[in-house]
Amino acid sequence: MIKVVPLKEGDFYEDEVKNFLPIGDKVLTTEIQLAVQPFLIITDTHNTLLDVGLGYNEDGKYKIDELLAKEGLTPLDIDRILLSHLHKDHINGLVEETDSGYVCRYPNAKIYIQRREVAFAELSMDDVSFDYDILDEVLALPNIIWMNEDKGDIDEHFSYQVVGGHSPYMQVFWVKEDDQIIFYGADNLPKYNYLEYNMAFKSDYDGKLAMKWRTEWKIQAEAEHWTVLFYHDMEKTMYNCE
């Protein structure tokens, strides 16, 4: 049986340059509000993270570390990380700044990155969705597995597909065991209302393409009873499609 554990760092709002600031007691009106919520997938053979979040911490304590501890795990127990794309709210938690420089917070994990997403990031040097200082540190890590194909299997449970939509080479993931199918649509399907309403959203890089995928996924999810994971939904962590 596959176990899914949401690792919610918190609820945030974005300022005009896409800094993610904790909502706290702030009364919000027009700001973009969203959760940041990677997922831990536990199987018989692997502890896998789907994206890694902001690396949000308070008083030097990482929120994700506290949530991992509830499962009896530490970052050292994570042996695989699957990155959907390279925006800061999905990758900054990979590294930690120390007195001697940046170090990987998950040194025992193989980190899977779509190579073409790197090329897009490097061509978008004025895009505030990327933290280029952190990105450079991430891309220099020795434990990266470079992905070059449009789709494929990572192992007997995990598969992926490059779909674009939110960014040109964003990829999504399925986790399957027997009749259980878990789907992570990353920022093409970050909230429940993206599944519910057939429309383009402000966060879409290519709205028509993202809509096409969401329509197809909804039909397939209902037919095959997927469990859909939502990275940015403040209320609904996942949804079992019937």
For the stretch 139-192, pLDDT in tens is 999 999 999 999 999 999 999 999 999 999 999 999 999 989 999 999 999 999
Q: For the whole model, what pTM was predicted?
A: 0.96
Query: What is the CA 227 to chain-centroid distance, rounded?
Result: 16
Q: Considering only CA atoms, which of 82, 156, 159 is closest in space to residue 117?
A: 82
* Cβ–Cβ under 8 Å, residues 67 and 85: no
Q: CA gyration radius for the chain?
A: 17
Q: Where do the structural domains in the chain lie, given as residue ranges? A: 3-240
State pLDDT tens for residues 53-107: 999 998 889 999 999 999 999 999 999 999 999 999 999 999 999 998 999 999 9
The CA angle 194-188-66, to the nearest 5 degrees, is 95
* Pairing status of strand 32-36 against strand 158-162: unpaired
Taking 70 as the threshold, does the pLDDT of residue 27 lie above it?
no
**Measured CA angle at 41 (ends 79, 204), to 5 deg:** 105
pLDDT value, residue 26: 65
Across residues 9-36, what is the average pLDDT? 83
Q: Could you report the per-residue pLDDT of 194-230, keeping only the tens digit for each? A: 999 888 998 899 999 999 999 999 999 999 999 999 9
Tokens representing 157? 């449970």
CB 196 within 8 A of CB 233: no
User: Is 70 exceeded by the pLDDT of residue 25?
Assistant: no
**Mean pLDDT for the stretch of residues 3-10:** 97
pLDDT at position 18, please? 85
Question: Which CATH number is associated with domain 3-240?
Answer: 3.60.15.10
pLDDT at 44: 93
Looking up tokens 């070059």 gives: 148
Kind plus residue range of the DSSP H or E element containing 210: helix 207-224
